[in-house]
Structure 1
Amino acid sequence: MIALMAFSLFLFISAYNDSFVFDEAYSMAMIQHSYSEIWNITAADVHPPLYYYMLKSFTLLFGNSLLTLRIFSTLGVLGVFMLGMISIRRYFGASVALVFIVIITLLPVTQYLADEIRMYSWTMFFTLANAIAAYKVFRNSTLLNNLVLLLMALCASYTHYYSLMGTATIFGILLFFLIINKRQTGYTIGAIILFIIGYSIWIPELINQVTAVNHSYWITGLTLKDLLLFTYYLFSPKEPTHPYTIFTLPVMAVALSFMLLLIIAIAGVTIKEYKKLNRTKTITALTFMAVFFIPVISAIFISYVMKPIIIPRYMTCLLGCLVLGISILLVELYESGEKRIRTLLLTSIFMLSVLSVARFFSEKQHMEETNKEYYEIEKYFKGKNTEKTVFISTFSACGWLGMLSIMYPSPNNLYLVYSEKKTPVSYKPFKLIEVNTLPKDFDFHYTQSFDENMEQTKINNHFMNGVKADYLIEDSLIQITHPQKFEGKEIYLMKTIHREKEKQ
């Protein structure tokens, strides 16, 4: 019932979200290409192709409306619930399954994963399924169990690189426990060899991507503020890219600090009560949690000594394993019978519920604001030609232009990115074309984004000054999306002067 209610809530959120962000536009643009093109395009990016293949196949069956795309992400969370109701319940008991489903439901980040048109809900599902398959192999290393392990490992690793790191961790831990317990390793070693063969198709692309990351990558260096964000990201009612809405920064800081103190207290109780807990269950719980922490800590270390490669949302790929480990520990602690421990655990669940409800209403308000901006854009283009026209942006606003290409995807439209000099970048999967000369003799919609970045302002001024002798502005829309940071976007309908004179 809890899973059904949560699933219905996530569908409700998806149904009322009519706007989308750039990362979602990227997914929407990707599935417009063929399967072979998807392979080539994502090989030049930073993610494996399985999610895009799955999403494209889903839309071929059910259409590619915004709601359909969001439902596909919600199905990934439903898959996690199914693992809880079937596999986790079978191997760890109904109490663990219940706690697992409750925590997954209440974590504010789950609302985000279930609604966003990205791969993270499915990476959480595949990585958790991979870890549970490894546990089944440890209990009974049959050919069938190892084949399931192989399949889940390939699915996880072809969906996200942090799931690949999770897979490597799972294989390593599984072999370790099989060896020290003197159990059969033949099938498992065979599964690992087949995994390497199966993933070898993608290894050349992985090497190219690693090389590209070593030269340049969009992720910036980790700061103390970033590390703080990692500690509360999973249960924060605020998505880092969103402005503060129903609560202020001090209020949220107090709530998150209290939640962190509760988590620290639970960790302290676990250490204190360790000898009283079931040793096998405790080791099992810590092992599942290790599948989360080993890749994350490794990535943070690499980000410091080599190149930044981690942002908070990548942790969600491994989230299911962390929650399963925590659920096993919480049930063990609760069943110890001590009143103070039960009070601590129930208080933590209550606090998590508060953060979850806060996230829902905060996101609802943010969604209403972004939907309003989306409707303003629709209103601006109403009555204008969006079936055979030209859209132009400067290089600094090409992401915003890419989003417009998704909103108005007519094959007769042109989407041009102006840059004074040729840039060594690929605009795929968007159908953007770079031009290095200013327009002179055709009408177009000029779109730009603005903030306090002086370089971006300089580029925008260069373009507008360069075309003012040949064009006049017939209509415009200016949106301030983040008043605190003076950020926004603009659209101008540019008409050639000579054509307006001909009309007169």
Structure 2
Amino acid sequence: MSKKGKITMLLFFISIIYVIIFMHPTLWRDESFTMALVKHNYLDIIHLDSMDVHPPFYYILLKAYLSITTFWTSSLFIKVIFARLFSYIVTILAFITLGRTVRAFGVTGGNALQWAGVFLAPSVMRYATQIRMYALAGLLLALLLNQLQHYDNSHKPGHIILAVLFASLASYTHYFAAVSAGFLLLLYFVKFVIQKYNTQSLVYSIVLFLGMFFPWGIVAYFQVQNVANNYWIPSMDAESVLDDLVNLFTDIHTLTIYDNWFAILMMLLCIYPIIWSYREMNKRFNLLFSFVMIDFMLTALTGLLVSIMMRPIYLARYAYPIYLIFIFFIAVIISQMLAKSWQKRGFKILNYLYLALTGLLMASNVVFMGQSQVINYDLRSFDLMSSVEGYKDIPRDTINVNPNQGVNNIAQKIVYIDSIGKRVRLKDFDINHLLGNENRKLFHGVYDNVDMDSVKDVKD
């Protein structure tokens, strides 16, 4: 095996090992909400989710998946690991789908180097194992892009039907996935108009896409109206706008301005492969890549403009699904860059410098993120397991939980105490920290094992 091949395989195995530290049973508060919601039946999931701020498809699919894969156990610890595995599996499927998409242009897609580039990139592993809808939305956008490209090549109506289906499912997964899907459809429509293709099928598809989302769109309208003024997303200022623009490009969280500078540097490092692609890659590939970049920018700008002009509704992670596709294309371009231009005298030194700096920054990101995961989640898993075992030994059916601890710990303990058949009693707990608004009906519907009575003797 060549030296480059050995390095590639080493990076590939590092990325496989890297995922293990993300497979922990401790829960972030939104993940706790997910696990609490999917214990309900399908109709109740839809009903309860209609009172929240997200569409229901991810929760329905996750419940079905857990029903098949974890029917043999009642342990929530195991179910949480399988739920994380679900996000990882759909991220792998997105990677495979995108690899098949670029191969249509005669470009190698889906090799070990590209795998390592994607799965070691900032933010990818975080959302590829999170028990939330972002990984699924990424897969659906990848499938949409794949079918739009097939339709562009063949004009067979079956591809546009599948494209509309995937766009609609993305819309029922996350609202900003709907924004990204809508922009992809619009960009292809403009392309066909410019090239004087028959756009009738695509016009019908856009209308059908809007029509398929209309039933839940009514619910979405009332969800927006029900979001209280004290919704938890903070008001927009220069710092929050910058954070929402660059946050996906770093996992390093030192809580200083250096986080954003690190992210900006990672963004700048994407410029070199972009320039190389427009010089060396074929025009059809570059057009598709341009659509991905435009979609990424339009999704972020739409969220920021609405947040600034109306109310804060956007966070950087909402653009993660299209970011995942962007990162895949960057990894593909770097792979092609090394294969085609490494031996060219004009590029060789520049490539060495570029890879050295990129490798240093990505390695720093992986090390800091890995350290954060181990300290904040993996090590705390032992305390969580010990706590749950202790709750089992308490003879009472109701456990008093200290409301003065972190909201992540409270939400996590609620779902784990529920999993062992006991109730929770909280004193003076502000649900705004958990749900983002004063929606007590949603809180008690999802966390139906919680009593909010006053408690004189609070014990954790």
TM-score (ref. length: structure 2): 0.81
- Residue matched to 1:20: 27
CA change 1:280–1:165 in 2 (3 A) is same
Are 2:173 and 1:168 equivalent residues in the alignment? no
How far 1:405 moved relative to its partner?
2.7
Judge conservation of contact 1:69–1:117 (CA < 8 Å) in 2.
yes
- Residue matched to 1:429: 446
Judge conservation of contact 1:84–1:97 (CA < 8 Å) in 2.
no
- Residue matched to 1:54: 61
User: SS in structure 2 opposite 1:310?
Assistant: coil
- Residue matched to 1:130: 144
CA change 1:97–1:117 in 2 (3 A) is same
Distance in 2, Cα, partners of 1:103 & 1:88 = 16
Are 2:161 and 1:156 equivalent residues in the alignment? no
CA change 1:6–1:77 in 2 (3 A) is farther
Query: Where do 1:356-371 residues align within 5 Å?
Result: 356-371=366-381
Judge conservation of contact 1:14–1:71 (CA < 8 Å) in 2.
no
Distance in 2, Cα, partners of 1:149 & 1:89 = 19
Judge conservation of contact 2:388–2:417 (CA < 8 Å) in 1.
no
Distance in 2, Cα, partners of 1:259 & 1:421 = 34
Q: Which amino acid aligns with 1:13?
A: I
Are 2:50 and 1:43 equivalent residues in the alignment? yes
Judge conservation of contact 1:136–1:145 (CA < 8 Å) in 2.
yes
How far 1:404 moved relative to its partner?
2.3
Shifted more, 62-71 versus 209-218: the winner is 209-218
Percent identity for Structure 1 against Structure 2? 18
Q: Which runs of 5+ in 2 are unaligned?
A: 1-7, 71-75, 432-437
Corresponding residue pairs, total: 431
How far 1:168 moved relative to its partner?
0.9
Shifted more, 331-340 versus 98-107: the winner is 331-340
Instruction: Kindly report the root-mean-square deviation, in angstroms, between the aligned alpha carbons of the 2 structures.
Output: 3.5
What do the CA deviations read for 1:424-464 (whole angstroms, capped 9, x no partner)?
Answer: 533131115565x645xxxxxxxxxxxxxxxxxxxxxxxxx
Are 2:36 and 1:29 equivalent residues in the alignment? yes
Are 2:131 and 1:117 equivalent residues in the alignment? yes
Distance in 2, Cα, partners of 1:410 & 1:266 = 45
Are 2:238 and 1:224 equivalent residues in the alignment? yes
How far 1:149 moved relative to its partner?
0.6
- Residue matched to 2:395: 385
How far 1:272 moved relative to its partner?
9.3
- Residue matched to 1:305: 309
Shifted more, 186-195 versus 27-36: the winner is 186-195
Higher relative contact order (CA 8 A, sep 6+): 2
Distance in 1, Cα, partners of 2:430 & 2:30 = 26
- Residue matched to 1:487: none
Judge conservation of contact 1:19–1:374 (CA < 8 Å) in 2.
yes
CA change 1:277–1:54 in 2 (3 A) is closer
Distance in 1, Cα, partners of 2:64 & 2:147 = 26
CA change 1:183–1:391 in 2 (3 A) is same
Query: Where do 1:58-69 residues align within 5 Å?
Result: 58-63=65-70, 65-69=79-83
2:424 to 415, 421, 432: 415
Q: Which amino acid aligns with 1:425?
A: R
User: SS in structure 2 opposite 1:46?
Assistant: coil
What do the CA deviations read for 1:80-133 (whole angstroms, capped 9, x no partner)?
Answer: 222244333344511686664332111131221232211111111111221222
Are 2:332 and 1:317 equivalent residues in the alignment? no
User: SS in structure 2 opposite 1:201?
Assistant: helix
Distance in 1, Cα, partners of 2:129 & 2:110 = 26
Query: Which protein shows a greater Rg?
Result: 1
What do the CA deviations read for 1:12-31 (whole angstroms, capped 9, x no partner)?
Answer: 2354x132221111111111
CA change 1:362–1:349 in 2 (3 A) is same
User: SS in structure 1 opposite 2:21?
Assistant: helix
Are 2:192 and 1:184 equivalent residues in the alignment? no
Distance in 2, Cα, partners of 1:56 & 1:393 = 30
1:283 to 252, 277, 287: 287
Judge conservation of contact 1:402–1:432 (CA < 8 Å) in 2.
no
CA change 1:267–1:399 in 2 (3 A) is closer
CA change 1:32–1:378 in 2 (3 A) is closer
What do the CA deviations read for 1:256-300 (whole angstroms, capped 9, x no partner)?
Answer: 746634642652785699567654433332211112111111111
What do the CA deviations read for 1:125-151 (whole angstroms, capped 9, x no partner)?
Answer: 111221222222222221121122112
TM-score (ref. length: structure 1): 0.75
Distance in 2, Cα, partners of 1:214 & 1:381 = 35
What do the CA deviations read for 1:33-58 (whole angstroms, capped 9, x no partner)?
Answer: 11111111111111111111111001
User: SS in structure 2 opposite 1:202?
Assistant: helix
Are 2:170 and 1:144 equivalent residues in the alignment? no
Query: Where do 1:320-331 residues align within 5 Å?
Result: 320-327=324-331, 329-330=333-334
CA change 1:421–1:35 in 2 (3 A) is closer
User: SS in structure 2 opposite 1:415?
Assistant: strand
Query: Where do 1:202-351 residues align within 5 Å?
Result: 202-213=216-227, 215-238=229-252, 253=258, 257=261, 260-261=264-265, 263-264=267-268, 267=271, 270=274, 278-327=282-331, 329-330=333-334, 335=340, 337=344, 338-351=347-360
Q: Which amino acid aligns with 1:210?
A: V
Distance in 1, Cα, partners of 2:95 & 2:277 = 30
Distance in 2, Cα, partners of 1:258 & 1:68 = 33
User: SS in structure 1 opposite 2:227?
Assistant: helix
CA change 1:57–1:397 in 2 (3 A) is same
Distance in 2, Cα, partners of 1:275 & 1:81 = 25
User: SS in structure 1 opposite 2:424?
Assistant: strand
Q: Which runs of 5+ in 1 are unaligned?
A: 440-466, 477-490, 492-504
Judge conservation of contact 1:133–1:148 (CA < 8 Å) in 2.
yes
Judge conservation of contact 1:123–1:317 (CA < 8 Å) in 2.
yes
- Residue matched to 1:481: none
Q: Which amino acid aligns with 2:258?
A: A
Distance in 2, Cα, partners of 1:138 & 1:357 = 42
How far 1:211 moved relative to its partner?
1.4
